[in-house]
Amino acid sequence: MSEKKEDPPVATIQQPPQAGSLLGQLANSGPVSIFAYCASSILMTVTNKYVVSGDFNLNFFLLAVQSVVCLATISVLKFLGIITYREFNSTEAKKWSPIAFLLVGMIYTSSKALQFLSIPVYTIFKNLTIILIAYGEVLWFGGSVTSMALGSFILMVLSSVVACYGDTDNETGNIAIGIGYFWMFLNCFSSATFVLSMRKRIKLTNFKDFDTMFYNNLLSIPILLIASLLLEDWSAENVALNFPESSRYAVISAMVFSGASSVGISYCSGWCIRVTSSTTYSMVGALNKLPIALSGLIFFDAPINFFSISSIFIGFVAGIVYAVAKQHQQKEKSQQLPK
């Protein structure tokens, strides 16, 4: 709990401190905001991978904890006056409930894919969601795909194919990798369905960014908890397997931290746009794929070979081409005369 691209929700935040102070200078610094956004994205991905690695199999419970932490965090931030979102309304909750089920499907398949695949492969295949969303917008919203965007899609597919060749890990085994690809493709489709459906629903509710985060987490918590109780093994043996005594507190801390990180990504997104521009932000989002993928090579001993490095580079170029294509498309739309 960061396509068009599936961007993370952008925070609505208070005005920063005055520029004369050191804190004010940092708050208005473009490079600092970009670093914070990239760091928060990497931290969340690495933390999630750490939790689901090994014998962990309580994915629904993990996601429920993350949602509870995220909801508690934004509640505290609202109490402190740092962010704002609307109060709970049962009518709005009913309208938004289908989105919560789609969200659960998206984040569950994401956690399962990350559990079986390396971070570089996971990050590269996530780009395929962009293609599904783009053509979904053509069907649902009358969007269009430019030749440059199509070129970026070809590069995304190519990077995924190359990543398959590079994803050779004897310790994991071909069966586990195949399971990971199965969950990854499910995640691509569920993510695209979630994003497209949420955009249609937002038009009905007129939700802002933290309104969306509030209802998404609030409504998904009971779904996740019920799914965990019904579908996951809560025997003493399995709980001990998921939370071994040697790393129990580290795993629990990582679960809590990853929940708070989703709020951090949202806040840093708004900060980055405020002190730079939406154009810079879109490019940062594309460039951010590279350090996220590299973090998997550094922290989790992912396979390092010609194909794995090449796939990261091709995916990196594909992200840049796509970001440039979207910028050109938005510029052309802004120059068109209103009908």
Residue, of 76 and 161, whose pLDDT is higher = 76
Q: Which two tokens stand for residue 293?
A: 């993928």
d(CA 181, CA 164): 9
Q: Determine the Cα–Cα distance for residues 181 and 121; give it in Å rounded to an integer.
A: 9
Q: Write down the pLDDT at residue 322.
A: 83
pLDDT surpassing 50 at residue 97: yes
Q: What is the pLDDT of residues 163-203, one digit of tens each?
A: 877 766 545 567 778 888 899 999 999 988 988 888 888 77
Over residues 216-270, the pLDDT tens digits come to: 999 999 999 999 999 999 999 999 999 998 888 998 998 898 888 878 877 777 6
Bridge partners (DSSP) listed for residue 13: 83
pLDDT of the residue at 87:
92
| pLDDT of residue 93 exceeding 60 | yes
Predicted model pTM: 0.83
Q: What mean pLDDT, rounded, does the chain reach?
A: 81
Distance of alpha carbon 269 from alpha carbon 279, whole angstroms: 12
> Which pLDDT belongs to residue 9?
47
The tens digit of pLDDT for each residue in 275-328 reads 766 556 566 666 777 777 888 777 776 777 888 888 888 888 888 888 888 777
Is residue 144 predicted with pLDDT exceeding 50?
Answer: yes
Question: Considering only 143-157, 164-178, 202-216, which range has the smallest mean pLDDT?
Answer: 164-178
CB 190 within 8 A of CB 102: yes
> How does pLDDT run across 219-229, given as a tens digit for each residue?
999 999 999 99
Distance CA 11, CA 78 (A): 12
- Which residues are CB-neighbours of 280 under 8 A, at least 6 positions away? 30, 34, 272
**Would you say residue 94 has pLDDT above 50?**
yes
Of 19 and 217, the structure prediction assigns the larger pLDDT to 217
Structure tokens at 119: 């971070």
For residues 50 and 62, is the Cβ–Cβ distance under 8 A? Answer: no
pLDDT at residue number 173: 60
